[in-house]
Structure 1
Amino acid sequence: MTPISTIDISLWREAGQSAAAVAQDVDESLQRAGFLLVRGHGVPRDLVADVRAAARNFFALPEEVKAQYAAIVGGRGWIAPGLEADGYSEGTETPPDLKESFAVGPQTRTGDPVVDDVWFKPNVWPTEVVELRDLLTAYTEAMRRLSDELLALFSVALGLRSNFFEELADRPTWTCKINHYPPMSSVGEPEPGQFRIGPHTDFGTVTVLDREPGEGGLQVYTDDGGWEDAPYDPDALTVNIGDLLEYWSGKRWSSGRHRVLPPQAGAPEEDLVSLIYFYELNHDAQVTPLDPPIGTVAGLGPVTTADFIKTRIEAITM
């Protein structure tokens, strides 16, 4: 048994009783764990495979080549090992996460350099792996469509008559990160308390994850079950909500707490690549939490997306 429900979003598209059942499953699963498995999403599996293959080609480049595309945490490009420690976001001091990443984001610049230099930085693309640009652009377009659809579904799951997210996500901020978790034979034995990604919650509204299963893989925390291996379905995407949507729901739903285990001695050559799409809202969107009876906490004040997200990104930067 798992607290994480599997839904078929194609049934929700059909409307009627099937859609109502999907919305109820969503509400219950997000209250329990903040996570879902989503089937029927329509994201082409060959596109995912091609993105992952191109990413592996990039991560296999010499470090001095990747350094030409280096970025800080929250930036665009290669985020080298040792720069992030996600456990810090919940106040836990941990060694750096055992991963490297490649990140891209939206290019819908506002014309305000103060805003654009934070939320709409130019993407950088490795000339050594030219196919990555077109592949990842197609992938993020598919993720944007799916994330918008998920937010519409979530509005129904909250019992709202219309998609109350829609007008606040016409120029959204998002980040797509490709995380590479090298094998133990490459990074060495983990330090005490070190993870591939330390325990944390995500920051935005929706996170969509395409992952590879492994011994050093994803775990999800619930109050009832503690830490458990996340269920894996090769035909499903793993979806969790972040702190912003938890807050917006009036704490009805839980931002899914999770971690990625360090490489395991029993699988020293395990080498994993995950594709993660972190969706937010417009940078200047004002979020007013839902009061009871939808929410469970009354009197939560409004927040602006940019302020809410920025403080959390700064917390995980080493």
Structure 2
Amino acid sequence: MQLKAVDYNAPNAAQEFVESLRQTGFGVLKNHPIQQSSVASIYKNWEAFFNTYEKNKFVYNKDKQDGFFPQSVSEVAKGFKKKDIKEYFHYYPWGQCPDALREELSTYYKNTSSLAAELLSWIENESPEEVSKHYSMPLSSMIDDSEQTLLRVLHYPPLAGDEEPDAIRAAAHEDINLITLLPAANEPGLQVKAKDGTWLDVPCDFGNLIVNIGDMLQEASGHYFPSTTHRVINPEGTDVTKARISLPLFLHPRPDVKLSERHTAGTYLHERLTELGVL
């Protein structure tokens, strides 16, 4: 099985995209409205930022979860004991950000959030009635005025050879949120776990936009849409000297939004962040 890119402008784009999400938990879009020049510029500017001491002036607020997370506090995926080999910056419009980088990141945040709302409408419109009747409100309305949607700038540094045994750039995990939008990274490595347990390489053609389902959409849809396990594997050979930058946008509902009889978005998020050890 392969993940194929769906043309955003095709007449049947919504159907093909949602079917891919349904079958694999992932959808890949090409010819979408996010400017590749913007993505390339962000990658360049933030790789330079991560290579300076200035990043330490923006160390994260534990309560607000905004700012720079050094590798020493990197996430430990649920069920794993080794920290991921990465560092990252959490951007929220209301949070801290280097002045020189804020405008570019803010524009990208707005544009991708708008596209994400459209994709959530695709998902809702393509949901069977027995699934959509359980949504507490339109999926795209769940993110209206949400201050929880997170843009994460991820930096996977070159491998130095002294990494902990079995540690990888991002251990197998599922995302917490509704959906995640991710432009193809500057280096390969992202894999998704298929239903038969094998690992599939996610197309990393520069210009593709990768979308995956998170746990909150799985919860809201009664598991009709699967939150798919994915990981970022370590490079090999000469590629170990290359850093990897990626830019996931995690679409989060407002905390009060009801996901299911068990959870609001707020209670669900708190439960998962506690499991990850970041609260």
With structure 1 as the length reference, what TM-score do the two structures score? 0.79
Task: Determine if the alignment matches structure 1 residue 67 to structure 2 residue 36.
Answer: no
Q: Secondary structure at the match of 2:113?
A: helix
Q: 1:240 aligns with which of 212, 236, 242?
A: 212
Asked whether the 8 Å contact 2:184–2:208 carries over to 1, the reply is: no
Task: Quote how far apart the aligned CAs of 1:22 are.
Answer: 2.8
Q: Secondary structure at the match of 2:77?
A: helix
Once residues 315 and 245 of structure 1 are traced to their aligned partners in structure 2, the CA distance between those partners, rounded to angstroms, is 19
Q: Secondary structure at the match of 1:101?
A: strand
Question: Which residue of structure 1 aligns with residue 29 of structure 2?
Answer: 38
Q: 2:71 aligns with which of 65, 81, 89?
A: 81
Question: Which residue of structure 2 aligns with residue 115 of structure 1?
Answer: none
Task: Determine if the alignment matches structure 1 residue 164 to structure 2 residue 133.
Answer: no
Sequence identity of aligned pairs in percent?
27
User: Counterparts in 2 of 1:193-232, with a 5 A limit?
Assistant: 193-212=166-185, 214=187, 217-224=189-196, 226-232=198-204
Once residues 237 and 86 of structure 1 are traced to their aligned partners in structure 2, the CA distance between those partners, rounded to angstroms, is 26
Q: Secondary structure at the match of 2:253?
A: strand
Letter in 2 for 1:100: E
Once residues 238 and 36 of structure 2 are traced to their aligned partners in structure 1, the CA distance between those partners, rounded to angstroms, is 29
Once residues 151 and 86 of structure 1 are traced to their aligned partners in structure 2, the CA distance between those partners, rounded to angstroms, is 29
Could you say if the C-alpha distance between residues 194 and 276 of structure 1 is closer, same or farther in structure 2, counting changes exceeding 3 Å? same
Question: Which residue of structure 2 aligns with residue 147 of structure 1?
Answer: 116
Task: Quote how far apart the aligned CAs of 1:212 are.
Answer: 2.3
Asked whether the 8 Å contact 2:179–2:214 carries over to 1, the reply is: yes
Asked whether the 8 Å contact 1:86–1:200 carries over to 2, the reply is: no
Q: Secondary structure at the match of 1:124?
A: coil
Once residues 229 and 107 of structure 2 are traced to their aligned partners in structure 1, the CA distance between those partners, rounded to angstroms, is 29
Could you say if the C-alpha distance between residues 189 and 227 of structure 1 is closer, same or farther in structure 2, counting changes exceeding 3 Å? farther
The total of aligned residue pairs comes to: 271
Once residues 6 and 192 of structure 2 are traced to their aligned partners in structure 1, the CA distance between those partners, rounded to angstroms, is 18
Once residues 5 and 283 of structure 1 are traced to their aligned partners in structure 2, the CA distance between those partners, rounded to angstroms, is 34
Task: Determine if the alignment matches structure 1 residue 26 to structure 2 residue 26.
Answer: no
Q: Secondary structure at the match of 1:287?
A: coil
Task: Quote how far apart the aligned CAs of 1:213 are.
Answer: 5.1
User: Counterparts in 2 of 1:114-129, with a 5 A limit?
Assistant: 123-126=95-98
Deviations 1:193-235 (A, max 9, x none): 21111110000111011232535x1111012251122122322
Asked whether the 8 Å contact 2:154–2:246 carries over to 1, the reply is: yes
Task: Quote how far apart the aligned CAs of 1:166 are.
Answer: 3.2
Which has the larger displacement, 253-262 or 159-168?
159-168
Question: Which residue of structure 1 aligns with residue 8 of structure 2?
Answer: 9
Task: Quote how far apart the aligned CAs of 1:9 are.
Answer: 2.5
Structure 1 residues without counterparts, runs of 5 or longer: 12-17, 108-122, 289-300
Q: 1:48 aligns with which of 39, 48, 58?
A: 39
Task: Quote how far apart the aligned CAs of 1:142 are.
Answer: 0.7
Question: Which residue of structure 1 aligns with residue 90 of structure 2?
Answer: 103
Q: 1:176 aligns with which of 139, 148, 151?
A: 151
Runs (4 or more) in structure 1 with deviation over 4 Å come to 160-163
Letter in 1 for 2:67: G
Once residues 136 and 214 of structure 1 are traced to their aligned partners in structure 2, the CA distance between those partners, rounded to angstroms, is 20
Letter in 2 for 1:164: P
Task: Quote how far apart the aligned CAs of 1:167 are.
Answer: 3.0
Task: Determine if the alignment matches structure 1 residue 253 to structure 2 residue 243.
Answer: no
Once residues 76 and 36 of structure 2 are traced to their aligned partners in structure 1, the CA distance between those partners, rounded to angstroms, is 29
Letter in 2 for 1:315: E
Give the alignment's Cα RMSD to 1 decimal: 2.2
